[in-house]
Amino acid sequence: MVQIYSDKSMIKMQTIYHFNDNIIPELREVGGKALSLIKMTDGGLPVPPGFVLTSSFFQPWVDEIQATEDWKNLLASDSDKQEELSGRLKARCKELKFTDEQNRQITDALNAISHKGLMIFAVRSSSPEEDLEYASFAGVYDSVLGVIPEKLEDAVKTVFSSALDIRAIKYKEQHGFGIDRIIIAVIIQEQIASEVAGVGFSINPLSNCYDEAVINANWGLGESIVSGAATPDQYVIDKFSGDFKTKKTGGKEVSYFLRDDASIETVNVLKNNEMSLSDEEALKLKDLLVKVEEYYKMPMDIEWAFAHNNLYLVQARPITTYVPLPPEIMTKPAEKRRLYLDLTLVEQGISSPLSPMGARWFSDTFDFMMVRRIGHDVGHDIINGLGGSAGGRTYINLSNMLWIHDPEGIAKKIEGLDSYSAEIIRSINPDDYKSSQRPPELRAVKIKGLYHTAGVLGRSLEGMITPEKLKEKYIAGVDAYLNRLKEEDAQELSIEEYYRAVTKDAVDLIQDVTIPTLIDAEIAKQQLRKLFCDEDPDIKYLADRLDRALPDNVTTEMGLEIYDLSVAAKNAGNLAPEKLEESISARKLPEDFLSLWDSFMEKYGFRGPLEIDLKSPRYAEEPLTLINQMQNFAMVSVDAESPKARFLRQQKEREEGYDKLCTHFSDKTDKLHKFKKLYKIVVMFGGFREVHKYYLMMANYRIRQRALDAGRRLAAEGRLDSFEDVFKLTVYDLQKGLDNPDSDLREITEENMAFISRLNQVKAFPPVIDSRGEILRPPKRESKDGELYGDPVSSGVIRGPVNIMRYPGEKPVMPGDILVIHAADPGWTPLFITAGGIILEVGGMLQHGSIIAREYGKPCIAGVEDVLSLFEDGQMVELNGAEGSVRFIKDQ
């Protein structure tokens, strides 16, 4: 739960602050919106005068509401009764009255800002939980405009009561705020009778570009824009050059004007063909946006108003929906931009920031790979090399990559991981992003790559000729790797020495042993596709299933074993998750279940959701994670639809299809021979696609255990607050800390987490972003009404309800659900088994989610932009994995 209040909240606070009091109050007194107005007034920005009634001002009203039975029932009620109780409490607020003391304070405050003529006010909320960097509460609380002093009490009651609105209650629950306190302050501010007003953003909220200011404007009051009643004019301006990028005339369907008698006049379609701001006014607004951003040192959105040629700043709040970029990979506004590919997302399917230790390990793994492939280190220098870690992510520097390949060449290399990113890269102009000079580290990189990968290519060629020999070498290589891990476990190595040794072992295994099998499987698949490209649809259908339900896929096998555990648990009494965990720990379950459990933990205990990050707990450490995934399988009520039954059916269809295709080629000896050989290679090596990650995670888990041991020692010595804080260090930080007892590890963790903590607001990381924060997108695809298109990665047609999920275990997946997710790592596997189909934003034929979908025969498409915002939970759709289409099904 978000912590906003301290014990000081029990101290009696000041009840009213004027914006110009030269006092900066605490957030808990005045709330985010009022604190912003007070700070901006103090900073000399053009804020209309006003004052704020603090949370202490409303204590008599809070006491009265909290003494009611409806309030007590609200705190104890189920969610389905909250709306009714909320409505009753809001109605009760209408009966509230200012006390004599409140009336005196209000009168004194009004007199302090009064001037000749009628004073008209805007009355707005300012909750301490509102307008924060991580929660805006936008549109949750009410505002009242055009308020004269005689109507002030009613307006204040309206705003106060909105703290009890069902919208506020639900928003608080969704963002981790408690609903057991009524905390609100109210702003009373002179309302500007503006001729033009609107909102502005100090970065482009659509593209995330830090260099562009975006302004929305309409005639009259800004309420027409804030409320969504009118389509505003839009200006996009380069903040540094002052150039207008675009100017777009809005419909301006309605405008509101504040009249002298405090009434609000509504005017329809006023001068809708004319821009409401002159260029000079728009540039003045741009300058104000830059000042506000510099003042707060973060991207801001503002509400503004022009009246009598004066510009007023009505409100400012942090933009909560942008993607921050680590400072070390940003360029200055006038410099040529660099382009980055988010490898953490594209390769691993992880949509959350990694810990400092996890991010550095992933970057080191990439670095060790590059050393093996081109003979020297190009990994950690994210500016002059091919990439590295920054801000909890690992990026590929595409600007430098353009010295090695053109956009099409890069796109082909990553298309198997993410077709969406590939389309973006195909569409770029290399002159916009290619580094001005080839970095020295990348000279002759192609020749070096050929030299250092010659062994891999040789083993791959050998495998295409005699796959049995490559299989023998694979088995021997895995055995040698496991023996090396045992030897290093027994050695007295420092944590840094151990970290480097086991990571290098895993990289060597991948490069020397598993990559050749992957190359051969992919070559065989491509040649099979060519072999059948001119065949009729029925034959192509059979050929498409030749890589389904392959043997030796460790991730598929893990999912099937989770299903077996779920069946065994059901037979053992179908205990609740926590009770089952207790019974397993106490070994008080039937032997057949415990035997399956032990076998699973021996093979897969080091795995788990978000496993690429060293900080992530694994099944062996948190068995409840596995038990909850088992529960998901328990929803499958028909044996014929069980994961194992589906896998066996897929396997049988593949084998029967193979026999039919052999018959099809029976009179074409050369094609038959080639077909059989290619199929043999696919079956022998196709399932190994997931072993790279499996053995890499074996090394990762061992490093995690060493780090945890060190973390426990450091926490016991008082050098870390918690043993888990060890993952806020890199292994190199940790080693220095162990070598030097005087080093301040807490300070290092704070430095390492300073930027990463800001990323928690990011709902979905973009796969391609440039060094000024701009998110690149592929050219728009044409879609028919009621349909969306992505890239087909697993064929089949399924109808079902949409289930949008942002992380594994967020909620149950029912059989037949169409699972909609941003990207997938192995932690999603159990949910894929239950789902009827999968829609991904990030993914390609070689990405984990696509492979598992094909293995289980689930229709799947990838590359659907902004996928999490396109659907609603429960919405009925038809997913066609062969066409790459989604059709919305209207109510029958």
Question: For 485-542, what is each residue's pLDDT tens digit?
Answer: 999 999 999 999 999 999 999 999 998 999 899 999 989 999 998 998 888 988 988 8
- Tell me, what's the pLDDT at 672? 92
533 CB-near residues (< 8 Å, 6+ apart): none
Q: Could you tell me if residue 90 is inside a domain? A: yes
Mean pLDDT of 445-468: 76
Task: Give the C-alpha separation, 663 to 539, whole Å.
Answer: 11
- Per residue in 126-150, pLDDT tens? 877 644 444 444 556 788 888 999 9
What would the mean pLDDT of 188-199 be, rounded to a whole number?
93
Region 25-50: mean pLDDT is 90
Query: How many folded domains does the chain comprise?
Result: 5
Confidence of residue 241 (pLDDT cuts 50, 70, 90): very high
Q: What is the pTM of this model?
A: 0.79
* Predicted pLDDT at 31: 86
Residue pointed to by tokens 């021979």: 673
SS3 content of the chain, % helix, strand, coil (to 5): 50, 15, 35
pLDDT-derived band at 387, boundaries 50, 70, 90: confident
Shared domain check, 375 and 236: no
532 in any annotated domain: no
Q: In this structure, is residue 93 part of a structural domain?
A: yes
Cα 138 to chain centroid, rounded: 21
Contacts of 333 (CB under 8 A, 6+ apart): 211, 239, 240, 772
- Please give the pLDDT value at position 764: 79
Same domain, residue pair 171 and 241:
no
CA–CA separation, 770 vs 209, rounded Å? 9
> What does pLDDT average to over the chain?
87
Contact (Cβ atoms closer than 8 angstroms) between residue 73 and residue 88: no
Q: Which of 190, 207, 237 is the last residue of a domain?
A: 190
Taking residues 435-462, report their average pLDDT: 72
Shared domain check, 210 and 174: no
Question: What per-residue confidence (pLDDT) applies to 3?
Answer: 32
580: pLDDT strictly greater than 50: yes
Domain boundary among 427, 452, 477: 452
Shared domain for 202 and 186, answered yes or no, is no
Q: Are 610 and 354 in contact (CB under 8 A)?
A: no
**Does the structure show a pLDDT above 90 at 33?**
no
User: In terms of domains, do 847 and 869 share one?
Assistant: yes
- pLDDT (0 to 100) of residue 7: 38
pLDDT at site 846: 60
Determine contact, residues 679/528, Cβ cutoff 8 Å: yes
Residue 801 lies in a domain: yes
Answer whether residue 100 is part of any domain.
yes
Q: Nearest to residue 124, comparing CAs of 215, 261, 30? A: 30
Is residue 203 pLDDT above 60, yes or no? yes
Residues 301, 303: Cα–Cα separation, whole Å: 7
Reference 516, options 579, 469, 570, 563; nearest CA is 469
User: Can you say whether residue 236 is alpha, beta or left, with left for phi > 0 and alpha for psi between -120 and 50 degrees?
Assistant: beta
pLDDT at 615 over 90: yes
Distances (CA, A) of 769 to 64, 391, 628, 800: 52, 14, 36, 34
Cβ of 309: how many Cβ atoms within 10 Å?
A: 7
Mean pLDDT value of segment 628-642:
71
- Looking at residue 6, what is its pLDDT? 35
Instruction: Identify the pLDDT of residue 413.
Output: 87
Residues 52 and 174 in one domain: yes
**pLDDT at residue 2 in the model:** 31
Average pLDDT value for residue range 169-194: 80
Q: Which of 203, 155, 210 is nearest to 334 (CA)?
A: 210
CA separation for the pair 474, 478 (Å, rounded): 6
Inter-residue contact 65 to 93 (CB < 8 Å): yes
CATH of the domain at 146: 3.30.1490.20
pLDDT score for 844: 65
Q: Does residue 489 fall inside a structural domain?
A: no
- Token reading at 214: 């975006």
Co-location of 26 and 99 in the same domain: yes
Residue type, 583: S
User: Looking at residue 808, which CATH number applies to its domain?
Assistant: 3.50.30.10
Three-state SS annotation for 505-548:
HHHHHHHHHHHHHHHHHHHHHHHHHHHCCCCCHHHHHHHHCCCC
Query: Are 305 and 351 members of one domain?
Result: no
Residue matched to tokens 């070390």: 328
Last residue of one domain, picked from the residues 190, 214, 246:
190
pLDDT greater than 50 at residue 389: yes
Asked whether residue 411 is assigned to any structural domain, the reply reads yes
Mean pLDDT calculated for residue range 758-778: 89
Q: Which of 420-434, 458-472, 633-647 has the lowest mean pLDDT?
A: 633-647
Provide long-range contacts, Cβ within 8 A and 24+ apart, for 808-815.
808/609, 808/629, 809/609, 809/625, 809/628, 809/629, 812/631, 812/632, 812/635, 813/632, 813/635, 814/635, 815/635, 815/636, 815/637, 815/641
- Same domain? For 21 and 166 the reply is yes
H-only helix segments in 119-245? 152-161, 166-174, 223-226
Domain of 371 in residue numbering reads as 335-452
- Say what the pLDDT of residue 445 is: 63
Alpha-carbon gap, residue 535 to 551, rounded angstroms: 27
pLDDT score recorded for residue 722? 96
pLDDT of the residue at 170: 76
Q: Assign 61 a pLDDT band (cuts: 50, 70, 90).
A: very high
Residue 716 lies in a domain: no
In the predicted structure, residue 758 carries a pLDDT above the cut 80: yes
Confidence of residue 638 (pLDDT cuts 50, 70, 90): low
Residues 294 and 398 in one domain: no
| b/e per residue 855-869 (b: at least 16 CB within 10 A) | bbbbbbbbbbbebbe
pLDDT at 845: 61
| 291 shares its domain with 361 | no
Torsions phi, psi for 789 (to 5 deg): -130, 140
Paired tokens of 733: 């930080």
Asked whether residue 184 falls in the same domain as residue 200, the answer is no
